[in-house]
Chain A
């Protein structure tokens, strides 16, 4: 096969004098993301300690995170609904690394929470759900999958510290009976 590998042993290139040209990203570029109609209201709800979703009455889907349209019926959603800030864990993992691949000092549990909506029942195929940190679960709770199906409830930041962000919820915490 063709091509020349620089580091056949997988050594970090900067220990070697290789022809590499390094450059950072341009200036101190930052993004300012639009929150949009649906997520804008969702974030405002979080600031008030509420989790808001939207409903399509045609197919009965409840969207959390909310959308302004139902992508299945391809029509505008009919209304907003306040969903419960509790639900069950559908999947859980234990992260030992940060976004930049460095090792974390303490591992963190993360997962997807299927949220309760009064008057609605959901199967596994479509449900209102959020990814978030899970707290109150040990490494063993996650590794043994005991965390699956566990009931959790949002642990909110105090109102004065909320900024209108998904991080206004610190984590979803295990509900101990």
Chain B
């Protein structure tokens, strides 16, 4: 693999993926969810745990599951016992960071086969509401005394974006409608809504204007897993490995009140890093399908622009013209995304990576996009509009 200023020993491929159901409340414990996803990924790759050299676990704040040292706690179900195991965490960006961390385990030559598992059980933080535990994300001195709800900052970002780009709520609601309809093809989906309309979104409960209930993904429980292997191993495991072509990640400052919220700089930089490595100079033409992070409907548009899949302020236009539909020229979130499949934070990001894996292999079933897929992209975002993680995969 060629790339500027990058040096690594081994090409890396994804050879298997697994997912649990995404639901607002699951019977299984976090460990059990991790096990269900990990086992499916191993089965799909035709491997057993004995074949795995190293394990990477991803999970968002401990406060959701209500267990400290969640990585250590999950290791048991994630196959990490008595192996080199590590947990990574960059808020909502964690899900895509998990295969990035697994990539460097393999690319460095340190491990040949890595199991990467992401899990979240938001429903444990039940009372008074899951949103309440987000208060520990705010700055304790200058923000928390104002008694904020985390949706405030997303509403501020959404409104700033609408203001700067002249975007209407109707245009943003189209994203929610597309993704909740797409989700009907996904066996894990929590919010398949085949008949949802823009009107339904605009009439749903107003939470923090301009954010309404159907603009947001739900709280969910779930787990996802993928298996990554070095080129030599991957060729032995499968005839159809999906190569990791590029990875990128960046973190912006936590002082979000000092910067413009209209454009996601943190995503642009992460994407540039991944594109440089993958040899992509025109993402709009070279990416066949993408799964940008969509915990809110405006976020899909915002991230498309950060990823260079649309020009600044152009994503709503592409959406209105149907370009981003599953049968469109640039299918965006054919899985149904977080808005449709659900948002068990870290697991939701890894679900997107699994979706790109299945799309490239032609195994996405009812969700398979119409155009041929050679190259796909998954992206996640997290923290106080800070963290961007991007992975480019292809045949």
Contacts and interface: CB of A to CB of B under 8 A. Distances in A.
Interface in A134-152: 139, 142-143, 145, 148
B148 to A, nearest CB: 6
* B: contact size bracket: 35 or more
A93 B333 CA distance: 28
Interface string B248-271: 000001010111111000000000
Contacts of A71: 253
A127 B206 contact: no
A2 interface: yes
Contacts of A43: 141
A148 B260 CA distance: 13
A167 B129 contact: no
B147 A98 contact: yes
B152 A19 contact: no
Contacts, number: 168
Contacts of A65: 139, 141-142, 255, 257
B383 to A, nearest CB: 15
A95 B33 contact: no
A97 B149 contact: yes
A154 interface: no
Interface string B171-192: 0000000000000000110000
Contacts of A167: 145-146
Given A6-B25, A93-B156, A142-B209, A99 B141 contact: no
Interface string B126-152: 111101100100011111011111011
A2 B257 contact: no
Interface stretch (B15-23, B102-110, B296-304): B15-23
Interface stretch (B50-58, B157-165, B372-380): B157-165
Contacts of B132: 99-101
> Which range holds the interface residue count of chain A?
35 or more
B33 A3 contact: yes
A64 B257 CA distance: 9
B28 interface: yes
Contact of A1 (B131, B188, B209): B188
B26 interface: yes
Interface centre among A8, A96, A107, A130 (most CB of B within 10 A): A96
A156 interface: no
B151 A166 contact: no
B197 interface: no
Contacts of A93: 152, 155-156, 159, 208-211
Nearest to B134: A99
A87 to B, nearest CB: 11
Contact of B258 (A4, A23, A128, A133): A128
B257 A39 contact: no
Contact of A100 (B33, B128, B163): B128
B149 A98 contact: yes
Nearest to B143: A131
Interface string B11-40: 000000001110111111000010011001
Given A4-B27, A36-B141, A125-B260, 6 more contacts: A3-B20, A3-B26, A95-B209, A96-B206, A99-B148, A124-B262
